[in-house]
């Protein structure tokens, strides 16, 4: 019988369709076996907030309105109308590992995306060893641990982060040399993290052990145009020389999965969590604020895009201690698409994600300098929704908006006022460089960096669950992101005080004939496919 311990491997933004495709083609042998030998199913991510709240919803077991994190490591401050780094000293609500710790369970958590506090755990926690972006916001990854001395031990044993603490956005990808360097660094990251996971796993019999790989997220953003031959930036000659670095990083992840499963499968229940997917970046997020300014009879400020491009190039070479003042200068020269004077406007764009943009109403009693009264709120929302559905992509002739979501219709809770009022989901059938409607005319994306990321988030995740008494099957129904916290707690005989999720009953149901489906008989490749 499998132990009651839970070992969770997170694969941030590892696309389930790419996994299936490359497993079928022989590139991902360990995933191929999981598709045949595990209990697995698809995951519905938080509607409209699939990028920034998918991880907080996972470990809090709550929807965004009940825990406040909808934009990853940032939040909108209604006092000064700015986006700010989300760096609380303690969690507003306990994540799954805190609840388990309070029940006496020993926990280890490594690189939980967007989670900053480090000390509310009975065990060890590692923050920003090898993340996609800094867990608590900011511009640079800084390794922090609980206990604090663990950071030094990690760096002495496994070396520094191969990416040097930089977000993937600040790696050059202009030449074959750049691409090869990116691939080498992120594959090395995966290998070193796997070494670290296995070392820490062996230190004691953890009740709950969780580690997240973020490399599929980084590579998905930066390498999509080298993978997708329909992408408008696809360069066949460059791809012939460079190969497919995105696929190579998935191969490295598959190799890591093989190593972990081989070591852990006989001593814990294993869950692989693929948070959400990736696809081409086709977005009018940030361009939307120019539309909103024009709808509100405000002028559009479009500062030169050359400054944004130059700024990123300078960032790659200047020392870290010079980056903060440099960012202050860059902010004065550029606005990255967001328009100024939010306090003087009735409505404006707030960042939600690139797939779905946010609109915030400057509401009296909520915003520091609110303009719109409560009685005018609903009519104004209805007016804006109507205008959004009239927007066209003039280059393709298609409607630019697929769906407008009234946030009040889907979310509630103590942090509801932190959320946008409307969410605008883009029609991503074609690139969006312009927006047009009869009322506002044509608005362009001049000065907005639309090419640094060529891939973007998709909805739907997937999980794989492996234990000798779990049935091998694909679930006929989808589960939700917030279902995993109560499920993990139940597997460890702990009840959460609050959750929006439901226990995944198939993970609590024991197989009546486990001997015929022993996971111990599975062979997981240790070497993987050579890069």
Return the residue matching tokens 């401050």: 77
Give pLDDT tens digits for 210-220: 999 999 999 99
Give pLDDT tens digits for 440-458: 999 998 878 777 899 999 9
Sign of the CA dihedral running 101, 102, 104, 105: negative
CA distances from 521 to 36, 37, 262, 265, 516 (A): 13, 10, 10, 10, 10
Give pLDDT tens digits for 322-361: 655 555 555 554 456 789 899 999 999 999 999 999 999 9
Range with the lowest mean pLDDT among 247-256, 301-310, 426-435? Answer: 301-310
CA dihedral 111, 116, 117, 118 (to 10 degrees): 30
Residue 157: both structure tokens together = 């044993």
The residues of the chain that CATH labels 3.40.720.10 are 6-280+457-521
Going by pLDDT thresholds of 50, 70 and 90, the confidence category of residue 462 is: very high
Q: Which long-range contacts (CB under 8 A, 24 or more apart) does 438-443 make?
A: 438/390, 439/295, 439/387, 439/390, 440/291, 440/294, 440/295, 441/294, 442/394, 443/287, 443/290, 443/291, 443/294, 443/300
Coil, helix or strand at residue 29? helix
* CB contact set of 293 (below 8 Å; sequence gap of 6+): 299, 300, 339, 345, 348
* CB contact set of 439 (below 8 Å; sequence gap of 6+): 295, 387, 390
Top pLDDT among 302 and 98 is at: 98
Residue 311: both structure tokens together = 């700024």
Do the strands 107-110 and 82-85 form a parallel or antiparallel pair, or are they unpaired? unpaired
Give pLDDT tens digits for 42-55: 999 999 999 999 99
Residue 428: both structure tokens together = 């991503």
Question: pTM of the full predicted structure?
Answer: 0.91
In degrees, to the nearest 5, what angle opens at C-alpha 220 toward C-alphas 328 and 133? 35
Give pLDDT tens digits for 250-277: 999 999 999 999 999 889 999 999 999 9
Residue 271: both structure tokens together = 């869950």
Going by pLDDT thresholds of 50, 70 and 90, the confidence category of residue 309 is: low
Distance CA 171, CA 528 (A): 27
Return the residue matching tokens 């070494």: 195
Cβ proximity of 382 and 93 under 8 Å: no
Give pLDDT tens digits for 207-245: 999 999 999 999 999 999 999 999 999 999 999 999 999
The CATH code of the domain at 6-280+457-521 is 3.40.720.10
Coil, helix or strand at residue 434? strand
């Amino acid at each position: 019988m499998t132990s009651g311990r839970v070992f969770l491997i997170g694969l941030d933004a590892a696309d389930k369709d790419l996994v299936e495709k490359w497993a079928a083609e022989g590139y991902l042998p360990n995933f191929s076996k999981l598709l045949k030998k595990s209990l697995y199913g698809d995951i519905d991510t938080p509607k409209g907030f699939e990028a920034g709240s998918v991880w907080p919803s996972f470990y809090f077991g709550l929807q965004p309105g009940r825990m406040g994190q909808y934009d990853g490591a940032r939040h909108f401050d209604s006092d000064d109308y700015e986006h700010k780094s989300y760096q609380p000293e303690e969690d507003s609500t306990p994540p799954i590992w805190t609840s388990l710790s309070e029940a006496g369970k020993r926990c280890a958590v490594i690189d939980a995306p967007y989670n900053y506090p480090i000390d509310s755990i009975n065990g060890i926690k590692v923050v920003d060893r090898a993340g996609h972006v800094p867990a608590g916001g900011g511009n640079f990854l800084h390794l922090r641990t609980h206990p604090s001395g663990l950071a030094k031990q990690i760096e002495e044993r496994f070396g520094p982060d191969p990416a040097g603490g930089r977000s993937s956005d600040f790696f050059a990808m202009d030449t074959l040399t750049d691409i090869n360097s990116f691939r080498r660094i992120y594959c090395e990251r995966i290998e070193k993290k796997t070494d670290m996971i296995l070392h820490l796993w062996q230190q004691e019999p953890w009740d709950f052990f969780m580690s997240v790989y973020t490399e599929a997220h980084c590579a998905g953003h930066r390498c999509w145009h080298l993978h997708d031959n329909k992408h408008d930036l696809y360069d066949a000659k460059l791809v012939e020389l460079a190969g497919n670095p995105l696929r190579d990083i998935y191969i490295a992840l598959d190799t890591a999965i093989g190593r972990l499963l081989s070591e852990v499968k006989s001593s814990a229940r294993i869950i692989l969590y693929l948070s959400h997917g990736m696809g081409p970046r086709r977005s009018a997020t940030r361009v939307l604020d120019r539309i909103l300014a024009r709808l509100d009879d405000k002028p559009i400020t479009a500062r030169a895009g050359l400054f944004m491009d130059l700024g990123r190039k300078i960032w790659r070479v200047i020392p870290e201690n010079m980056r903060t003042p440099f960012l202050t200068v860059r902010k004065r020269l550029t606005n990255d698409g967001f328009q100024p004077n939010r306090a003087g406007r009735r409505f404006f764009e707030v960042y939600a994600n690139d797939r779905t943009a946010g609109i915030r109403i400057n509401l009296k009693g909520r915003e520091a300098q609110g303009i719109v009264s409560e009685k005018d709120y609903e009519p104004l929302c209805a007016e804006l929704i109507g205008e959004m559905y009239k927007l066209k992509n003039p280059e393709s002739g298609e409607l630019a908006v697929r769906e407008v979501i009234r946030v009040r219709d889907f979310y509630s809770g103590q942090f509801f006022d932190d959320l946008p009022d409307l969410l605008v989901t883009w029609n991503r059938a074609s690139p969006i460089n312009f927006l047009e409607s009869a009322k506002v005319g044509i608005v362009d994306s001049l000065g907005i960096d639309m090419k640094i990321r060529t891939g973007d988030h998709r909805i739907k995740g997937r999980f794989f669950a492996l234990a000798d008494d779990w049935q091998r099957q694909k679930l006929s129904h989808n589960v939700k992101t917030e279902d995993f916290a109560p499920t993990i707690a139940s597997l460890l005989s702990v009840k959460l005080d609050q959750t929006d999720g439901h226990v995944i009953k198939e993970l609590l149901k024991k197989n009546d004939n486990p001997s015929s489906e022993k996971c111990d008989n599975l062979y997981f490749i240790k070497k993987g496919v050579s890069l």
